[in-house]
Amino acid sequence: MKNTYPRLRIPIGFLSLLLVLVGCNKEPMITTHSPEALRLYGEGVSKWQKFYYKEAEESLKRAVALDSSFAMAWGRLAMVYGSSDNEAQALEAIEKAVRYAPQTSRREQLYVSLWNHRLRYHFRDAARVVDSLIALYPDEAEAYFSRGLLYDLDKRYDDALRMYQKAIGTDSTFALAQMMLGYAYSNLGKNEEALEEMDRYVRLAPEAADPRASYADLLMRVGRYDEALEQYQKALELKPDYWYAVRQIGEVYLTKGQLKKGRAELYRSLELIPKNPQRVASYKAIDGSVAMARGNFSEAKSYYREALTADSLHWSAAFGIVRSLGELKQFAEAASALDHVRQVLEYRNLAGSTMMLDFYVARAILLTEQDSLEQATQYCDSALQYSAPLTRRAVYRAFAEIYRRQKNYEAALSACEEALRINPAYPPALLTLTRVYAESGDNVMTAEIAHRLLAIWKDADPDYRYLIEIRRLLRQSRPPQT
Query: What is the residue-level pLDDT of the chain in tens, covering all 482 positions?
Result: 554 323 233 333 334 333 344 444 344 579 999 999 999 999 999 999 899 999 999 999 999 999 999 999 999 999 999 988 888 999 999 999 999 999 999 999 999 999 999 999 999 999 999 999 999 999 999 889 989 999 998 889 999 999 999 999 999 999 999 999 999 999 999 999 999 999 999 999 999 999 999 999 999 999 999 999 999 999 999 999 999 999 999 999 999 999 999 999 999 999 999 888 788 999 999 999 999 999 999 999 999 999 999 988 888 999 999 999 999 999 999 999 999 999 888 988 888 888 899 999 999 999 999 999 999 999 999 999 999 999 999 999 999 999 999 999 999 999 999 999 999 999 999 999 999 999 999 999 999 999 999 999 999 999 999 999 999 999 998 766 65
Domain extent for 26: 1-121
Cα distance between residue 42 and residue 30, in whole Å: 10
Cα distance between residue 370 and residue 363, in whole Å: 11
* Cβ contact 315:289 at 8 Å: no
* Residue 440: C-alpha distances to residues 114, 430, 435, 472 (Å): 55, 15, 8, 16
C-alpha angle 227/232/290, rounded to 5°?
95
The answer to whether position 384 is within a domain reads no
Structure confidence at residue 313 (pLDDT): 83
Structure confidence at residue 27 (pLDDT): 47
The answer to whether position 49 is within a domain reads yes
Structure confidence at residue 306 (pLDDT): 97
**Tally of structural domains, the chain:** 1
* Cβ contact 10:33 at 8 Å: no
Q: CATH number for the domain including 93? A: 1.25.40.10
Q: Amino acid letter at 392?
A: R
* Cβ contact 100:114 at 8 Å: no
Structure confidence at residue 328 (pLDDT): 97
* Cβ contact 22:42 at 8 Å: no
* Residue 292: C-alpha distances to residues 243, 305, 419 (Å): 24, 14, 22
* Residue 1: C-alpha distances to residues 32, 108, 245 (Å): 32, 27, 11
List of E strands, 264-371: none
The answer to whether position 58 is within a domain reads yes
Structure confidence at residue 479 (pLDDT): 67
Cα distance between residue 203 and residue 210, in whole Å: 12
The answer to whether position 221 is within a domain reads no
Q: Supply the pTM of this predicted model.
A: 0.91
Structure confidence at residue 392 (pLDDT): 96
* Residue 14: C-alpha distances to residues 203, 268, 343 (Å): 22, 22, 22
Structure confidence at residue 480 (pLDDT): 60
The answer to whether position 95 is within a domain reads yes
The answer to whether position 376 is within a domain reads no
The answer to whether position 17 is within a domain reads yes
Cβ atoms within 10 A of the Cβ of 339, count? 12
- Tell me which DSSP letter residue 103 carries: G
The answer to whether position 400 is within a domain reads no
